Structure 1
Amino acid sequence: MQRLQAYRFELKLNGEQQRLMRRFAGSCRHVYNKALALQQARHEAGEKKLGYAALCKALTEWKARPETLWLNETPSQALQQALKNLEHAYKNFFEKRANFPRFKKKGQSDSFRYPQGIKLDQGNSRIFLPKLGWLRYRNSRDVLGEVKNATVSQSGGKWFVSIQTEREVDQPLPQGEAVGIDMGIARFATLSDGRHIEPLNSFKKHQQQLARYQRAMSRKVKFSNNWKKAKAQIQRIHTRIANTRKDFLHKASCQISQNHAMIAIEDLQVRNMSKSAKGNSEQHGKRVKQKSGLNRSILDQGWCEFRRQLEYKAAWNGGFVVAVPPQYTSQTCPCCGHVSKDNRQVQTKFACVECAYEENADLVGAINILARGHRVLACGESVQSGRSVKQEPTEATQAIVA
C-alpha cells in the first residue's frame, strides 16, 4: 500500500534567509488575497468563478504589472500553490467541510509550498529549496520514502519545513479487537473495555499566565518595541499550549490505533457544540458565563484533531475508524435498550429507570457507541455530518470485528 507521511523539522536560518522567507510568504499571501478578492468581485457581478488555470493566467498578468514586479522574486510554483490552496478552500466550503475562505493576515498565515525542486541531504542535515539554497535543519529522525513536496511555515517566531514523502509499505495486519470511544471533558476518552484517558487541559494550565501577559501587553503603546516583545511572549505561550496538546493527542491516538482493529467514535459537531450563548441585542442569552467556560473546555480537548489522527493512524496499522450518530448514546441502557433522559439524572452516573442497571455514564456511552458502530457497518446508518466512513475495513479486519 502507498503511505503518505510528513516529517516536520525546525530550520536553522541566518538573517538573510529569514528575510527571504518572510518575503516569499508575503508574496504568496498577496496572491491568495488578490485571487480571493477577484473571485468575490466576479460573484457580485454575477460572473462564473474562475478555475485554477484561469487564475494562473491572471497571476502571469499580475507579475508583469509595474506595481507588482516584486512577485517575480518568489518562486513561481510557490505562488501557484497559493492559488491551489484557494481552490481547495472553495472546495471545502462547497462540500460543507469549512467556512467560506477568508483573507490571510500577516503573521498568521506565513507559509509557502514547493511541489518540486527539493533536494534532501540527511547526512549533513540540510535541505535545498529553490531560490533559498541549502538550509540547515534540526535532524531529529530519518525521512523515509520519496520526497513529494515541502511546506515552509512560521510558528512562534521560528521557521519549520514539513517534508511530505510517499513510499510503498506492506499491508499491516490489524491488532486487537473493536472498541468504542466516548469523548468528554471530565474524562478525555472513555473506552468500551473500561479504560479511560485523563484530560490534559493544556490551555487551562496556562490560562492565568496567558491572561497576565495579555494584560501587560494591553498597557503598552500599540506597535511599540515593548508591545512587540509582549506580543512575541504571548505567541510563545500559545505555541507551547498547542505543542503540548498535539503531543498528548499523538500519544493517545497511537496507543489506541495500535491496539484496536476497529475504532467507533461519535460524529461530533464541535463547531455547533461550542457556539456562543451570548445572543443578540434583541434576545439575550442565558447562562452566558457558564456556556463560555464549557466552550473553552470543549475546544481545549482537541476532539477534531484526535479524530483526524485516529483515522490515518488506524489505516497505517491495518484498522479503520467508523463515525456513528451521537444522539442518545449516553441515555440508552446497554442492558435493556430503554432510552430516557431520566437514565442520567447525575452527570457521571448512569442508572436505568427500567431495569435498574447502573454504571459510569461515560462507559455506558462508549458501549453504546461500539454497538452503534457495528450497526453502521452492517446497515449503513447515516451519521450526523453526512460524512461516510473514511477507511473501509479490510478482509483481515472484517474477520476480527465480525
Structure 2
Amino acid sequence: MERLQAFKFVLMPTGEQARKMRQFAGACRFVYNKALALQKENHAAGGKFVGKFAIGKHLTAWRNSADTPWLAEAPRHALMMATQDCDRAFQNFFAKRAEFPRFKRKGEHDGFQFPDKNQIALDSGNGRIKVPKLGWLRYRHSRDVLGEVRSASVSLRAGKWYVSILTKREVEQPVPHGPAVGIDVGVTRLATLSDGTYIVPLASFKKHEQRPAKYQRRMARKVKGSSNWKKSKARVQRIHAHIANARNDFLHKASNTISKNHAMIAVEDLQVRNMSKSAAGAADAQGCNVRAKSGLNKSILDQGWFEFRRQLEYKTAWRGGFFVAVPPQNTSRTCPSCGHISAENRKTQALFACVRCGHEANADHVGAINVLERGQRLLACGETVQSGRSKKQEPADVTQAIAA
C-alpha cells in the first residue's frame, strides 16, 4: 500500500535566502488577495464564480503587468498554488465546511509551496534541500526522510522558517493487533480508556498563561508599529509557539501509544467547534453563565480535543486498525450494567451511580465503556467506519482482524 507522509524541519537559511522567502511569501499573499478581490468584484457585477483555470490566465497578466514587476521574481508554481488555495477556500465555503474567505494579512500564515517534485532535490545525508530560486537550503536534520519527495511547503512561524516535505512510499499492509478500546475525552482527564486507564491533560497554556499575559501588557504600552513594539510582538509569538509545541508533542506521544497498542479505537463524534462557542450572546439577548462557559471553552481548546482525535484517526489507519466515531448522546448517562438511561445517574461530574441497579463507577470510565460498546455494535452491523483498509468492512472481517 502507498503512504503519504510529511516530514517537517527547521530551516537555517542565509540572510539573502531569508529575504527572498519573505518576498515570495508576500507575493503569494498578494496573488491570493488579488484572486479573492476578483471573485468578489465578479460576483457583485452579476457574474459567475471564476474557476481556477480562468484565474490562471489572470495570474499571467498580473505577472506581466508593469504595475507588479516583482511578481515575476517569485516562483510561478508557488503563485499558482496561491490561486488554488483561494479556489479551495471558496469550495469549502460552498460545501459549508468553512466561512467566507477573508483577505490575508502580513504576518499571518506566511508561506508558499513547491508542488512540482521535478524541481525539488533532497540531500538528506547533509540536511539540504534545493528548491527553485532559492538554491540549496540547510535544515536541521532530526530524522531521515523516507520515500519519494512529492512536494515541499515553506512556512514562517514565530520568526523561524520551516519546510514540510511530503513523500510517498510503498509499505507493507499492516496487520492490526491488540484489544479494542473506547475513549471518553474530558476536562479533568484528557482521555479515559475503557480498560480503566486514563491520561492526565498537559494544559500547557494554563501552566504558562501568566507569561504571555505579562509580555502582552508590555507590548500594549508601546507605540504600535515601532521597533520596540515589533520586538515585543516577536517575543509574545515565541511564547505562544512554545506552548503550542508542548501541546502537540504531548498529543503525538499519547495518540501514538494508544494507536500502537489497540486494533480498534472508538471515540465520541464530538463537534468541538460548537462545544467551544462563546456563550456571551448578542446585545439584545445576553447569554448566561458566560464566565463559567468561557473557562470551559479555554480548557477544551487548551487540551486540543479535535487534534487528539485527528491524530488517533490517521495513526490508526497507518497501523491497519479500525477507527469508529460513535454518537455521543447519553454515553455518560447509560448504565453499563443494566442499560438504564437517566440524567439522575450522574448527579455529579465525576461519579456515576445508577438509580436502578446501584452500579457506581467513575463517570468518564462509564462513558468510555459505553463508547466501546457502541463502536463494536457499529462494526458488527457492518456500518461505515474509518479504518486503515477501507471505509466499509464486513462484520466477519472486522471481528477476525480485532481477534488477531
TM-score tier by shorter-chain length is over 0.9
Give the counterpart of 1:337 among 336, 339, 351.
339
Give, in angstroms, the shift of residue 368 of structure 1: 0.7
CA contact (8 A) 1:174 1:396 kept: no
CA contact (8 A) 1:179 1:262 kept: yes
Partner of 1:45: 45
Q: What is the rounded CA distance, in whole Å, between the counterparts of 2:303 and 2:93 in structure 1? A: 25
Alignment deviations for residues 206-246 of structure 1 (CA, whole Å, 9 cap, x no partner)? 10111111111111111111111111110001100110000
SS of residue matched to 2:270: coil
1:205 is aligned to 2:202 = no
Give the counterpart of 1:221 among 195, 213, 223.
223
* CA separation of 1:38 and 1:279: change in aligned 2, threshold 3 A: same
Partner of 2:400: 399
In the superposition, the TM-score normalised over structure 2's length comes to 0.95
SS of residue matched to 2:386: coil
Q: What is the rounded CA distance, in whole Å, between the counterparts of 1:72 and 1:249 in structure 2? A: 42
2:189 maps to a residue whose letter is R
Q: What is the rounded CA distance, in whole Å, between the counterparts of 1:390 and 1:303 in structure 2? A: 20
Partner of 1:389: 386
Partner of 1:325: 327
CA contact (8 A) 2:190 2:198 kept: yes
Identity %: 62
Partner of 1:72: 72
1:399 maps to a residue whose letter is Q
In the superposition, the TM-score normalised over structure 1's length comes to 0.95
Q: What is the rounded CA distance, in whole Å, between the counterparts of 1:97 and 1:301 in structure 2? A: 23
Q: What is the rounded CA distance, in whole Å, between the counterparts of 2:175 and 2:128 in structure 1? A: 36
SS of residue matched to 1:123: helix
1:87 is aligned to 2:84 = no
**Which stretches in structure 2 are left out of the alignment for 5+ residues?**
none
CA contact (8 A) 2:190 2:303 kept: yes
Partner of 1:255: 257
Partner of 1:147: 149
1:164 is aligned to 2:166 = yes
* CA separation of 1:164 and 1:398: change in aligned 2, threshold 3 A: farther
SS of residue matched to 2:133: coil
CA contact (8 A) 1:265 1:322 kept: yes
Give the counterpart of 1:315 among 314, 317, 321.
317
Give the counterpart of 1:364 among 366, 371, 374.
366
* CA separation of 1:45 and 1:380: change in aligned 2, threshold 3 A: farther
Q: What is the rounded CA distance, in whole Å, between the counterparts of 1:90 and 1:327 in structure 2? A: 33
Give, in angstroms, the shift of residue 147 of structure 1: 0.1
Alignment deviations for residues 178-208 of structure 1 (CA, whole Å, 9 cap, x no partner)? 1111011100000111110000001101101
Q: What is the rounded CA distance, in whole Å, between the counterparts of 2:382 and 2:295 in structure 1? A: 36
May I ask how many residue pairs the two structures share in their alignment?
397
Alignment deviations for residues 147-205 of structure 1 (CA, whole Å, 9 cap, x no partner)? 00000000110001000000000011112011111011100000111110000001101
* CA separation of 1:234 and 1:372: change in aligned 2, threshold 3 A: same
4+ runs of 1 displaced by more than 6 Å?
393-396
SS of residue matched to 2:55: helix
**Which stretches in structure 1 are left out of the alignment for 5+ residues?**
383-387
2:40 maps to a residue whose letter is Q
Give, in angstroms, the shift of residue 33 of structure 1: 1.2
CA contact (8 A) 1:11 1:136 kept: yes
Q: What is the rounded CA distance, in whole Å, between the counterparts of 2:168 and 2:401 in structure 1? A: 29
Give, in angstroms, the shift of residue 99 of structure 1: 2.6
Partner of 1:385: none
